Every structure is written in C-alpha cells, then in structure tokens.
Amino acid sequence: MSMRSQIYEWNGLAPSSSTGNFTSANAGRATSIFIGGFGNNITKPAETTATEFVVIEDIACTPTLPATSTAATLSANYRGQLEGFTPGNGLLGPRAFVQVRINTTDYFLDPDNVANDGIPGSASPYPRSLDFQPSFNLYPDVYVLPGQVWDILFTGYNNGSWGATTGADLYAFTKYTLYDGPDALIANKLLEMGISINPGNVDWYKRSLLSAQGM
C-alpha cells in the first residue's frame, strides 16, 4: 500500500470541546483546516517525511450564491445546502475560499502576482450538487515534496449569521494521493523527468525497470 488515495474533510462544527465552532465571528481570517483551532483538527501540521510524496488533486469548500443587497432582510432562504444560511451582504453562503500553502508560499496568485484568497467555493463546491457544480479543476496537480509542510487555508468573508449557531454546515475538502517508500522515490524520479506524477505513471516506471532487467 505505498500509493494511497486520501481525503481530508473539515467541518466548521467542532466534534468535541477540544476546538471551537467556526462561526461568522471568524470571518475574514485565513484558518488552517488542519490545525486552525476550529472544527475538526489533527494533532500536528500536515507534512511529508523524507520518504513521502504528496500530490494534491482537488480542493473545494462550501459555495456561495450572489443574491441582492436586501438578502439580509429576507424571510426566505435559498434551496439545497445553503438552506440553513441566514443571508448577509447580499450573499447566500459564506463567501468562502480555499488556498494551498506549501511551506510559506501560497499557491494561488492574482494576475498582479499578489497572493489571493484561493479558489472560491462557488468555483469548486463541496459537496457538489445540482445547485453548485465545479467550474475549476486543479490541474496540473500540486506536488508536496519530501520534507515540506503544507496547509489548506479556509477564509470566509460573509459577515451574515452563519456557522454552528444557524445549523448551516461549513465544509472544506481536499483529495490527495500519498506516495510512500519506494513509490516516493519513483515519484521524485518522474518529477526530474518532467512526467506527471500519478499512479499510472508510477506503475509505468516500475514496469520499465522490470523490463530493463529482462523480466
């Protein structure tokens, strides 16, 4: 099991008293979905060891629908997954973004080369539904090399009442493949060769080695 498909789902509702619920009071601040102190967290920062290689293949978060400036005073909410959100600032939803950070470098930039908030949930929604379908595909994938620290940062800007107190779920999601041991070495070799790192190409490299040995 040296190539493993992995996912991590973050929910703003805290599973225990160890962390707090993520609410609109935390709006405007980039928060790590791994160790940010809100919702479900893990025990230490996400990082690769010397024998690991991670390929991030998808990131997504709760979407938002633009509405009208009077949405905050409206009595009716939107359908589907945004049903629990109380509208604010003309928006239905958290106006959320997710950014990938490798060590100290943010992956997504504005055209003026300034780091931005990342991928909007409206472009890469989680969960996907008829109401919200993806406009964004993380391709090429993002590589986390051995020894690097990586993070997924969630930022929501809508200051309407949302989060745990309203029963509205707030999600972020990442899908990645973890290459470990010999497969991580092969992943490094593929990187040197300019070949995309995916399970198919790692298997192809293994078969090439075996054929070179006459097997």
Partner 1 sequence: MSMRSQVYEWSNLASSGNSTLRRTTSDVPVTIPKDREIDIFIGGYGNNITKPAETTATQFIVIEDIACSPWLGGSVQIRINTTDYFQNPDVTRQRGIPGLASPYPRGSPSSVAVAGTALDYSVDNLLKSFDLYPDVYVLPGQVFQILYSINTAMNGTTTEVVAAFVKYTLYDGPDALIANKLLELGVTINPNNVDWYKRSLIEQQTRAAMAPANGGA
Which C-beta is closer to partner 1: that of 142 or that of 152? Answer: 142
Burial class (CB in 10 A: 0-12, 13-18, 19+), 84: middle
Site string for partner 1, 15-44 (x = CB under 8 A): ------------xx----------------
> Binding to partner 1 (CB under 8 A): which residues in 40-69?
63-69
Which C-beta is closer to partner 1: that of 17 or that of 73? Answer: 73
Q: Residue 77 in contact with residue 86, Cβ under 8 Å?
A: yes
Which C-beta is closer to partner 1: that of 40 or that of 201? Answer: 201
Residue 99 within binding range of partner 1, rule CB under 8 A: no
CB of 71 to partner 1, least distance (A): 6
Nearest to 23 by CA among 127, 125, 158: 158
Q: Which of 51, 84, 86, 123 binds partner 1 (CB under 8 A)?
A: 123
Q: What is the C-alpha separation between 201 and 174, in angstroms, rounded?
A: 22
Residue 210 within binding range of partner 1, rule CB under 8 A: no
Q: What is the C-alpha separation between 76 and 84, in angstroms, rounded?
A: 10
How many CB atoms are closer than 10 A to CB 51?
15
Q: What is the C-alpha separation between 92 and 198, in angstroms, rounded?
A: 37
CB of 159 to partner 1, least distance (A): 4
Q: Residue 202 in contact with residue 190, Cβ under 8 Å?
A: yes
Which C-beta is closer to partner 1: that of 137 or that of 211? Answer: 137
CA 86 from chain centre, in angstroms, equals 24
Which C-beta is closer to partner 1: that of 119 or that of 172? Answer: 119
CB of 210 to partner 1, least distance (A): 20
> Binding to partner 1 (CB under 8 A): which residues in 144-203?
157-159, 193-196
Site string for partner 1, 131-150 (x = CB under 8 A): xxxxxxxxxx-xx-------
Residue 43 one-letter amino acid: T
Q: Residue 91 in contact with residue 65, Cβ under 8 Å?
A: yes
Which C-beta is closer to partner 1: that of 39 or that of 125? Answer: 125
Q: Residue 87 in contact with residue 160, Cβ under 8 Å?
A: yes
Nearest to 166 by CA among 106, 114, 92: 92
- Give the residues lining the site for partner 1 (CB under 8 A): 27-28, 63-71, 73-78, 87, 89-92, 95, 102, 105, 107-112, 114, 116-117, 119-120, 122-123, 125, 129-140, 142-143, 157-159, 193-196
